[in-house]
A = this chain, B = another copy of it.
C-alpha cells in the first residue's frame, strides 16, 4: 500500500486525517504511534526522525516519495493529489476561503490548546491537577464553539457549509468528540451538535472513530 498514516487513535489531528482519507476512498495502512506508553513513542526513533516535531500524524505517500506532517497540509494535499471520492474543499475561491477559516478556528484556535503535550506540560510545570485540566480544556473549547456556533448560523445546512461536506466538517467532528471527553455541554451548541451527528452517520466518519481503530484501548 502506498499510503501510510502514522498516528494515534485518540489524537484529533490523526482523526481528521483518517476522515479525509476515507472520504477520498483511499486505501491506507495505519501505523500506530502510542503517545503515552513509555513516555511516548513519538519522542523515540524511528518516529522522531520521520517527524522532528514529535507530533502526530505523519503521512507517507510512497508513490510520490513524500513525508508530510500537519493534518491540514496532509488533507489539502490529498484533495489536490487524488480525484477519487469526495472533494474536500469547494471550487469557488470565496467559499474555499470561508471553509478554511472555519477549519482554522478549530485547528489553530482550539485544538493546539487542549492537546496532550500542553496538558502534560501544565500539569508537570504548574501543578495543575486533573480537575483543573478539564476546566482549562472546557474554557478553550467553549470559547471557540461559541464563535463557531454564531458563524454557522449563516452558513450551515446539513453540514458546516450547506449540503456539501468539507474540510470544516472534517475538523469539527474530532473537536466535538474531544469536547465530550472533557465534559463540555453540547446542548449549548445546537448547530454544531446537529452537524456532527449528520457527519457521524456517514461511513467515512464512522470508520474513522477513535474506538474503531486497531490501536484503541
Contact = CB atoms under 8 A, between A and B. Distances in A.
Interface of A: 52-55, 64, 66, 68-70, 72-74, 76-77, 80-81, 93-94, 96-98, 100-101, 103-105, 107-109, 111-113, 118, 121-122, 125-126, 128, 139, 144, 146-147, 150-151
A108 B98 contact: no
B69 A94 contact: no
- Secondary structure type dominating chain A contacts: helix
A146 B52 CA distance: 8
Contact of A80 (B96, B108, B151): B96
Given A113-B112, A113-B113, A121-B139, A73 B52 contact: no
A69 B101 contact: yes
When all copies of this chain in the complex are counted, the total is 2
Contacts of A53: 105, 109, 144, 147
Nearest to A93: B80
A112 B108 CA distance: 6
A121 B125 CA distance: 16
A101 B109 CA distance: 17
Contact of A104 (B72, B98, B105, B150): B72
Contact of A76 (B55, B69, B97, B151): B97
Given A54-B147, A147-B52, A68 B112 contact: no
